[in-house]
Amino acid sequence: MFSQLSNGQLIDLNGYWKFAIGDQRNWSNRNFDDSKWDEIRVPRPWEDQGYHGFDGFAWYRTKFDGTKLDKDQSFYLNLGYIDDVDEVYINGELIGFSGAMPPQFKTAFNSERKYVIPKYLIDYNGSNTIAVRVYDVTQAGGIIDGDVGIYSVSSVTPMYLDLRGVWDFAISRNGSKPSSDTEWDRILVPSHWEAQGYRRYDGYAWYRKTFTLTKEMYEDELVLILGKIDDFDEVYINGKLAGQTRDNRRVGSSTSYSKYRIYYIPKVLLKPTGQNLIEVLVEDIGIDGGIYSGPIGITTKKSFDKMSNQFDW
């Protein structure tokens, strides 16, 4: 029922996409009417398709058929190379971004875009909308190169919840939690924060992410995997400390950055219904910082134990 192309691709998205120059936030909406938009080929610079010399904001939109995807698999969207900066939405929700939009512009033209698609966003019974916001500052612009499509995620650690993707993020000079939502930015996990606009920053920062449990998940023994963190961390679930890693050594001698963060989740910390909140306080003591390497997610103790011999946990 579920076919796969020879290169591992599940859905081929090379071809003609809807396209418009300008920038309006409702262009990310799943049901926005883009019937009057132009069509241009992806991947190919927009300068080669009637928009010669254009620099600025533009949007791409296309759809994919959710019935072609297996609910038991995990997926990522490969958009190849985008010049210069992008934000990517599935059915109206942000799933990833690269570079930094103005006024703190930072190009990411040489980075391949691969974004995990949260399972809960996918309509497995019908059409799904991909919307890509792009900002180009000079020369070629748009989705310019790559094998664009949807691919399956191969993982030796099956996740109940794959938590890679967009998290809330805030730097903190003394480790205190931000008091206002306006102090939070967005960041992609996993990735060093230096690669996302926080160059040369050493010190404290907070990450946060919400998740919802199914009845089956709540009844299981769960394990939170946060990959590798540079350098030290404290992890809270619904405001209660769930674990921490800190060897208290100085930069150059500390090895905390190389350790996988594996925290068993006591059931007493979890809410069986509604949203649960993960908060991670990270302290970087030098060089790179942040939640920088996967896997990232929540799995069962049984699945984790089966895979424990494949990782140097």
Distance CA 114, CA 94 (A): 13
pLDDT band at 2 (very low <50, low <70, confident <90, very high): very low
- SS3 (DSSP) at 54: coil
19, two tokens: 């396209």
Cα separation, 54 vs 139, whole angstroms: 9
- Residue with more model confidence, 8 or 122: 122
Cα dihedral 31, 37, 39, 40, rounded to 10, equals -100
Determine contact, residues 300/306, Cβ cutoff 8 Å.
Answer: no
Least confident range of 35-49, 94-108, 253-267: 94-108
Distance CA 119, CA 70 (A): 10
Q: Which residue has the higher pLDDT, 308 or 26?
A: 26
- pLDDT higher than 70, residue 229: yes
Domains of the chain, earliest start first: 9-152 (2.60.120.260), 161-310 (2.60.120.260)
Output the pLDDT for position 75. 92
H or E element, residue 148: none
Helix (H) or strand (E) holding 218: helix 215-219
Neighbours of 38 (CB within 10 A): 15
CA distance 263 to 241: 10
pLDDT band at 303 (very low <50, low <70, confident <90, very high): confident
Amino acid, single-letter form, for residue 257: Y
Total-model pTM:
0.84
Spatial neighbors of 255 by CB under 8 A, at least 6 apart, are 247, 249
pLDDT in tens, 6-41: 467 999 999 999 999 999 999 999 999 999 999 999
Distance, CA of 127 to CA of 66 (rounded, Å): 6
Percent of the chain surpassing pLDDT 90: 77
For 230-278, how does the pLDDT look when each residue is reduced to its tens digit (9 = 90+)? 999 999 999 999 999 999 999 999 999 999 999 999 999 999 999 999 9
Please enumerate in sequence order all residues whose Cβ is within 8 A of that of 167, keeping only pairs 6 or more positions apart, or say none.
186, 187, 188, 189, 207, 208, 209, 291
Structure tokens at 310: 């494949």
> pLDDT value at position 197?
81
Structure tokens belonging to residue 200: 């040369």
What's the whole-number mean pLDDT along residues 125-152? Answer: 96
What six digits make up the tokens of 6?
């020879």
Whether 244 and 234 have beta carbons less than 8 Å apart is answered as yes
Strand 260-265 relative to strand 222-230, pairing: antiparallel
Rg, C-alpha atoms of the chain: 20
